[in-house]
Structure 1
Amino acid sequence: MAERDAQLSRLLDLLEESTGGCGRVALVRGVAGSGKTMLLEEFSTRAKGAVTLSASGSLAERELPLGLLNQLLYHAPLPEGGHASVVQLLLEGALTAVWSDPFFRSVEQARLMHGLWTRLLRMAAGTPLLLVIDDVHHADPASLEYLLYFARRLRSAPIMLVLAELDRPQRVHPLLDADLPAQPHCHRIRLGPLSAEGVAGVLAAHAGEGAAGPADACHRLTGGNPLLVRAYAEDCARGGPAPGEAYGRAVTTCLLRGDPVDVAVARGLAVLDGSGQEGLAHRLAGVDAVTAARSAEALAGWGLLDGGVFRTEAGRHAVLSELEPGERSTLHRRAAALLHEQGTSKLAVAEHLVAAGDAGDDWALPVLVQAAEQALQGDEVERALGCLDLAARCEAAEVQRAAIALTRAKAGWRRDPSAVHRHLPVLVEALRAGTLPAGAAHLVVRFLLWHGRFEEASRSLEHLRAATGEGAEWRTAVDWVAAFCPALLPADVAARAGGDGRGDGPRSAEGAERVLHTARLDDATFPAIESALLSMAYAGDAGRAARLCEAAAADAAQRGATTWQAVLTGLHAQIALRQGGMAAAEERARAALALLPAAGWGVGIAGVLAVSVRASVAMGRLDHAADRLRRPVPDDAFQTVFGLRYLAARGHFHLALGSPHTALDDFLACGDAIGSWRADRADRPRWRLGAAEAYLAMGEHKSAKPLLEEEIAGGEPRATGVALRLLASTARLQQRTALLRESLVLLQGGGDRYELARALTDLGRAHEKLGELSRARVIGRQAMGLTAECLAGGEEAAFEPRDAVESPAPSLSDAEHRVASLAAVGYMNREIARKLCITVSTVEQHLTRTYRKLQVNGRSGLSERLGPLAERALRRTPI
């Protein structure tokens, strides 16, 4: 009994006074859970030398006349014959209490009161008498009248009467306040909340010394209510969350012993908690605002409320858990109507409709749909689906059914695109009938394409065009189709849709970054963001695209949008592949595949598998590539760009296996499809390069050359660089180095480090065959280092230029660095002068100063000393 010693001592002192013939009345008051019952029990135990009679008020017996008095006196130790007379008096008193005639009732009641009081005096004649009544606020009115009668007369008798009452702003029995305090022998004892020190003591006693730490938190969450504090300590001792189960049970105990009005208000507040409209609780409780305010004050005294809201979610849950399902549903339904009437947010209203499981009112259905949209905007997918599931059970017009199906599809899409399937029939019909919400048609087309339902997608595009013309919504849908499945578009539409997939260099990259920084990731902006990232990657700024893509994927993950995260992670893998970061590309592709089930990927799984296969082949992991190729891919995928990337990746796999004929079939099939689309974009697979490589592997140089020359004519730097490298293998040895150097220039600007490494490897071998061993060694060393980074390096190595390599010659100027680095990889003075746009004399002067500063003798020493700078030269200087 923490911090109750003073109250206990006061009661014992009053008892001692009463045994001397000076009767005393003690009125003990405290909030629910304050320890009144424990105090009375401890006091009764210590009341030596007195006959103790006790009773406890009960809400269930409040309407039972003399029920409390019967409980107090029924088993009293009376002399022979006395018990029967008391029972008779109690029975007559109960009957008298229900008489309708007030005059006869008062006369008879006075007789009965006197009779019972006389018997109490006889009991106290030999031994002092202690009458202990707990929860007197639940006493029936008749019993209370008898008790007050006794209290007024016991001043000169060896009798002590102790009444424990719930302390609340509005008394249940005002008579206790009106009558007893006026009596000089009546004493009031109040049980207040525990102090912070008292709370710490309870925690230490119940949960051990180690639990004294959360005393401040316990005091804040319980308000110092002893019952709640002990329950909190029990939760701590069990090692579970605090407040937890024991705390919830304690709250339930407080409710059971509290006033019914307080309980009703507590339930109203529990239902409305968090809505910002707790002031409406009185309407849910069925009482006036003043009464509700008093109850809220009482509940705050219990330690349940703070500022009109529950201190803990565990307390709120305990209040609600005591409601029958039907009662809870009714309260939530009424709360929804009240909040709707007040103009509260749709999401707050819908939360109560969902909790009630009822949306029968006419206004409820649109509220649920709008609330679901709000929830999606806040990334609360489960809340959105809860609203939509209830809305789907309601009778709705076609327009409303379409809105429900669309929002359910968008919500499901974020977690798993396969969830969209069941909503597509309604959405397709709504698009055809014109009942689809504005701006949603392109989403329906995307859903259809993702799952390979191309005929429906094509018809949907036609319906949209017929209904809206070639407006913004139609163009948005067409651009997405053009990017990923152009075969569905008429030739004239395909030719003017979606650009060439490359943009116009820096301006395209800047435009893409503007989209990425201004558009928040959501259902409407996701296609634009995806397109912007691709545009940036193919506009020559793949490094920036990779960083932004990674940031967008992290944002999607934090917001629980698994599908967005998976698609962006797959796109990140594709960008890494374009940069030549094979290890990073495979890692990203593997992560993307793990985020969604195969059915959720739809036709897009082919694109992610393509990246994984291509990267695995480059790393020499052919078994892993074969495993990836054994995974099922939808047949419809081969009508999309994802399927063509898969064909190209499989072609490279067959080339690595030494099966160029099989590889050629894949590359040519890829080319046929792209040709039929009449839309050869930079982001399409470079099938001509693969086919040419297959022909070269078969020794058919004549068949390879036209394909390579056609690729070179296209002018895309990276593709041209690769084509020149392959073309060099068909040229005479003297011409080969020139072609490879030209290839290096283009690949350096194209950003593909893997292809750059391959060109360096070929150049080193060409110099070796020419007998230029020093050049061959330097270039070969750089090729090996770059290849190692691409195949096994970390992400940073794959994406970021290694400009921070420590220079072995810090004393050289930038101009001397450039000249010396090119000389180290084998360039002659005239070649260096031409590449750097300086005179031969200037080159010679730079080299002379460099030899002196580095203390080397000629180019051979320069090659050994500046080997690590050669790669730097390839990146920074046109070769």
Structure 2
Amino acid sequence: MLTGRQQELAVLAELTRPDAPATAVVVHGGRGTGKSALLGAALRRAVGEGGLVLSAMAEPADAHTRSGLVRQLVEQLPSPRAGRPGGLGGPGPAVGEEAHRLIAAAARRAPRTVIGIDDLQWTDAASAAWLETLLRRLDDLPVTVVATHGPGRLPSDEDPVGTLLPLFHRRIRLTPLTDADVARLVHTVLGAGAEDGTGPGPEPAPEFVTACRTATGGNPALLHTLLRSLRSAAVVPDAATAAALDRHVPAGTGRTVHAALRTMGPGVLATAEAAAVLVGPHPPAAELLAFASGIEQQVVEDGLHALTLAGTMVPGEHGSTFSAPLLAAAVAAEVLPSRRQALHSRAARFLIDQGAAWAEVVPHLIGSPIGQDGTAEALLNAADDALEHGENATAVACLRRALREPLREQLRAQVLASLGEAELARCVPTAVHTLRRSLDLATVPGEQAAAARSLAGALFTLDRYPEGLDVLRRAAQRIRHTGPAHALRLEIDLLYGQLGRIHTAAAALPRLRELDPAAAQGSPAERSLAALLSLRCLIDGGGCREDALAHARDALAGGVCPEGDESYVYTAPVLAFSAAGRPDLALAHVNASLEGSRGQAAALRQAYLTTLRAGVNYRLGDVRGCEADARAAIAALRGVGAGPTTSHSVAMLTDALTKQGRLAEAEDLLAEHGLTGTLGQHWANDFTALVRGRLKVARGRVEEGLEDLLRAGERATTRLMSGPAVLPWRSEAALARAALGDTRQAVELAAEEAELARAWGAPEITGNALRVLGLVTPGPDGLVLLREAVALLEPTAARLAHAQALADCGARLRQAGHLDDARAHLRSAVVSARRCGATAVADAAECELRAAGYRPDAPAEEGAQALTPSERRVAALAAEGLTNKEIAARLYVGLRTVEVHLTKAYGKLGIQGRPGLADALAAPGSVRR
């Protein structure tokens, strides 16, 4: 109890030493602050120094016992030579004078007399009068008086101590322990021994220390109680256990606190119980406490005042709160469940009648008894309000509580559907269970369709595609006659899911060919059918590019995640825009949907949209943006319990790392996600196979890489989506064939892709195909194709594809002896590739420049060239307008890391802050001779 009190103890030691002048000191503090321990230590020290020590302790029962404290002191006087004094006489004024004479006589015989009085606030009136006389005569005696004073009588009671306190020369006020004090105490109690019982134990984690101080308010007695309880439970003082401390109430603490509260006057305990139970966003006001507890408001106000004087509660802007959360928890733990529910019920009724915000009402609705009129309706209203304000956790709590009410089956199905949707933002496996229950109970076709689509989408996220397809199939059959439009909507998702799997794609194609936009016009399936038809255009290939764009526009008229119609089918129009040469439109739609969902705590939606944006950035050649979005998507999926084994985001991140030359990191990523062996059927893994093959070729394992590239083509061809607009596997395989010396097959593959690309008609797709065909075609004919590729790609948004074409054309020009032309191409390639973040392409182009007689600038001490990859990623996101907190979440790093990277980036770029950041990052690098 003396931890953190060394300074106060030193003051008392100085005041009680034998040669110190006579004085009086009072130690102020609330309950459990260590007043008694400090007084005891000071008195023991005085005894050790040969002084005469007299001590007395006042108790509440002594307040009405005449001269009780004085008698305690006199009875400790040593026996004189002539025999022990006969003690004090009976009651009367002479008692004080007699006691003063006896103590004065004893004090003159001792080198120093120290009188210690514990809990001065309970002193009886007669003893207080005697003590007042003593304090006024201290100059005549070698006496030091040390008293402790804490919370005691209510203000309405007679307080005989009030005139005493000004007579004390010195005052010591005990404040809460600091983090450093708490850390020492935690280490002493919980970490004093190693596991083998020898040597010092580990230092407590800072988070644990802070949690202990917060839970106890820095009160030593509460802290000792908490730590002893934690020691009994063998708790390790680390960061992982810190979060649970606010729920740990040591055994017996509640009873002890209740006993103390009962001594503080009428209504105090009832007031404290209500305040401890009715915890909400703000401390409960006196009016609320009075209504909920059923006692008069004046009694509640007196009780709050008494609790404040005792240090049990502290006043604040919105009301009084407990000085330590542990106190509140201890008080609440002793309240019977029936009384707790009654308090919450009455509090909810009071707040609703007062028009309070739902956020204030929710804790009391959740704690109310089951079956009361209006509770279910109020909970559902509160859930709607929480979802509207992006408070997903609150909505989930309200909906789960509402399900405990006696609801009609149809309403229960609706509540389960809402709960399942909310749970998707927190834990997808849990949402699957809830959505399945909703589907089982739903009877209305529209609700059945919505529940089935949500359930199937959640199953797809968990890579449980056969289950998801079965859910859609069964639900569509179930409502085919009662809700044909809703059945069609389900069939659209079913067809999209079937097309995404190798074994079911061929069977879905005949029905896909039959679909007519007019069949869904004006129905809930209109936009989703347009989305599916944009995918059909990608499958059909040549001549369908304009139709794909038209369908994509219709499909995304309501956004990528249209309210009430969210579905993975809207991935198709985003892909169609990108594949048809309008990645700018794809990016605009995805960004608009991301902005609209921000703040809604929809983690799964954020993961889906950031994965889509990573794909668009891949098409645009924004390597850094692709990496940042892919990392954010992976982190979001992990956060909701969805393992991204087949997620596009893992493949996107692998590709971005490969283009930056971070090959070992890319391989580790695939291994971490189990993507180094046989890949699942979903078409996301077609792209994974392509990326994996490209990585292996870059690592020099060309034959292994070619196998993956051909396997990607086989997979895509099986689902009749082998065109280069979706997956340019032929061009990648052609490069691998050429690296192995098989020029004939390389040319055949590249030529086939170029033909398909020309038929499709998107300049980006055609330009990339011609670039590869030019690379594998020897002689002047190859150079002609490379020049055509550069010309086609130059006006497009595919900046990395253009940089790669410039680099390849420049290399061929150098080999042909056209050095000036080669240097111009290569210089542009370096600048453009660096802007895209494609380090590997830029480095290769610089090597060609050296071979052409040029050398790049030495690494810049300043400017964008000097930024590390991490600094560039953070700076790029800051340039987009993201806050530091948003950047940290996007990159899955700490806030401090973001701040450090930005500070370094500002210095290297020569700017003072975010203004001008985008221009500084876009400034071209230079290459000199």
Normalising by structure 1, we get a TM-score of 0.58
User: 1:409 maps to what in 2?
Assistant: 420
Q: Secondary structure at the match of 1:470?
A: helix
Contact 2:775 2:782 in 1 (8 A): yes
**1:268 maps onto 2:274 in alignment:** yes
What secondary structure does 2:618 align onto? helix
Summarize the Cα distance change of 1:437–1:730 in structure 2 as closer, same or farther, 3 Å threshold.
closer
Partner residue of 2:530 out of 497, 522, 534: 497
Q: Given the alignment, which residue of 713, 716, 720 partners 1:674? A: 720
Change (3 A) 1:614 1:544: same
Name 1:428's counterpart in structure 2. Answer: 439
Gaps spanning 5+ residues in structure 1: where? 2-27, 59-65, 80-115, 140-146, 178-185, 212-234, 798-807, 809-867, 873-879
For 2:774 and 2:676, the matched residues in 1 are separated by 39
Equivalent positions of 1:437-456 (< 5 A) are: 442-450=453-461, 451-452=464-465, 453-456=468-471
1:334 paired to 2:348: no
Distance 1:271 1:249, change over 3 A: farther
Is 2:727 the counterpart of 1:685? Answer: yes
Q: How far apart are the structure 2 equivalents of 1:455 and 1:421?
A: 14
Q: Which residue of 2 aligns with 1:459?
A: 474
Q: CA deviation at 1:667?
A: 0.8
The answer (yes or no) to whether the contact 2:304–2:320 under 8 Å persists in 1 is no
Q: CA deviation at 1:422?
A: 2.9
Instruction: Work out the CA distance in 1 between the residues paired with 2:690 and 2:381.
Output: 46
- For 1:725-777, what per-residue CA distance to the aligned partner results, in whole angstroms no more than 9, with x for missing partners? 34445778555444433322332233223322332244335545655343233
Residue 288 in structure 1 maps to residue 321 in structure 2: no
2:344–2:367 CA contact under 8 A, matched in 1: no
CA distances 1:672-695 after superposition (whole Å, capped 9, x unpaired): 3035xxxx9997334565577678
Give the SS at the match of 1:415: coil
Contact residue 637 and residue 644 of structure 2 kept, 8 A: no
> Within 1, Cα distance between the matches of 2:644 and 2:162?
80
Task: Indicate if the aligned counterparts of 1:57 and 1:138 stay in contact, CA closer than 8 A.
Answer: yes
**In the TM superposition, what are the counterparts of 1:567-716 in structure 2 within 5 Å?**
567-582=608-623, 585-586=626-627, 588-589=629-630, 592-597=633-638, 600-601=641-642, 605-615=646-656, 618=659, 631-632=673-674, 640-650=682-692, 652=694, 657-658=702-703, 660=706, 663-675=709-721, 684-687=726-729, 689=731, 699-700=744-745, 701=747, 705-716=751-762
Maintained 8 Å contact 1:271/1:331: yes
Q: Distance in 2 between matches of 1:360 and 1:441?
A: 30
Q: Could you say what secondary structure the match of 1:749 adopts? A: coil
Q: Is the 8 A contact 1:586 1:615 kept in 2?
A: yes
In structure 1, C-alpha distance between the alignment counterparts of 2:841 and 2:735, rounded to whole Å: 28
Aligned residue type for 2:421 = K
* Alignment correspondent of 1:56: 59
Quick one: distance in 2 between partners of 1:543 and 1:537?
8
Query: Could you say which structure has the higher helix fraction?
Result: 1
8 Å contact kept, 1:336–1:353? yes
In the alignment, the residues of structure 2 paired with residue 795 and residue 544 of structure 1 have an alpha-carbon distance, to the nearest angstrom, of 27
Cα displacement string for residues 38-73 of structure 1 (whole angstroms, at most 9, x for unaligned residues)? 9xx99xx9xxx9x99985325xxxxxxx99549949
Shift of residue 543, structure 1, vs aligned partner: 6.9
**Aligned residues of 1:482 and 1:497 also touching (Cα < 8 A):** no
String of CA shifts for 1:704-732, please: whole Å, max 9, x gaps. 53443232111122112123334445778
1:245 aligns with 2:216: yes
**Residue of structure 2 equivalent to 1:306:** 315
Aligned residue number for residue 399 of structure 1: 410
1:772 aligned residue? 818
Q: Distance in 2 between matches of 1:269 and 1:579?
A: 58
8 Å CA contact 1:583–1:793 kept in 2: the answer is no
Who is 1:218 aligned against? none
Per the alignment, do residues 404 and 794 of structure 1 end up closer, same or farther by CA in structure 2, a change over 3 Å counting? farther
Indicate if the aligned counterparts of 1:733 and 1:766 stay in contact, CA closer than 8 A. no
- Residues 605-643 of structure 1 deviation map (CA, whole Å, 9 limit, x = unaligned): 242333244445556666666555555469998554423
Partner letter of residue 470 of structure 1? A
Q: Quote the offset at 1:339 in angstroms.
A: 1.0
Which runs of 5 or more residues in structure 2 are unaligned? 6-25, 44-51, 76-87, 104-115, 137-146, 183-205, 223-256, 518-528, 536-544, 844-856, 858-922
Q: Is this contact kept in 2: 1:392–1:404, CA < 8 A?
A: yes
Distance 1:735 1:715 in 2: 22
Question: Using the alignment, how far apart are the partners of 1:606 and 1:589 within structure 2?
Answer: 10
Cα 1:207–1:284 shift into 2, 3 Å = same
Task: Show the counterpart of 2:803.
Answer: 757
- Structure 1 residue 299: Cα displacement: 4.5
Q: Are positions 1:724 and 2:770 aligned together?
A: yes
User: Residues 590 and 721 from structure 1, CA distance in 2 versus in 1: closer, same or farther, beyond 3 angstroms?
Assistant: same
Any conservation in 2 of the 1:570–1:608 contact (CA below 8 Å)? yes
For 1:207 and 1:691, locate their aligned partners in 2 and report how far apart those are by CA, in whole Å. 66
Map of 1:860 onto structure 2? none
Distance in 2, Cα, partners of 1:436 & 1:71? 81
Corresponding residue of 1:352: 364
SS at match of 1:713: helix
Aligned length: 670
Identity %: 21
Confirm or deny that 1:740 pairs with 2:711: no
In the TM superposition, 1:39-50 aligns within 5 A as none
CA contact (8 A) 2:423 2:431 kept: yes
Question: Contact between 2:579 and 2:765, CA under 8 Å: does it hold in 1?
Answer: no
Q: State the shift of 1:259 in Å.
A: 2.0
Letter in 2 for 1:245: T
The one-letter amino acid paired with 1:724 is: L
Which amino acid counterpart does residue 267 of structure 2 have in structure 1? V
**Whole-angstrom distance in 1 between the partners of 2:372 and 2:339:** 13
Deviation, 1:457, is: 2.4
Distance 2:71 2:318 in 1: 45
Q: Separation in 2 of the partners of 1:622 and 1:673?
A: 30
Q: Give the conservation status (yes or no) of the 8 Å contact 1:581–1:795.
A: no
Conservation of the 8 A alpha-carbon contact between 1:748 and 1:756: yes
Following TM superposition, by how much is the alpha carbon of 1:287 offset from its aligned partner in structure 2, in angstroms? 1.3
Matched position secondary structure for 2:370: coil
Structure whose alpha-carbon radius of gyration is higher: 1
- Over 3 Å counting, the alpha-carbon distance change for 1:371 and 1:285 in structure 2 is same
Q: Name the CA distance, whole Å, in 2 between partners of 1:205 and 1:598.
A: 38
CA contact (8 A) 2:611 2:630 kept: yes
Q: Is the 8 A contact 1:693 1:726 kept in 2?
A: yes
Amino acid paired to 1:258: M
Corresponding position of 1:259? 265
| Other structure's SS at 1:319 match | helix
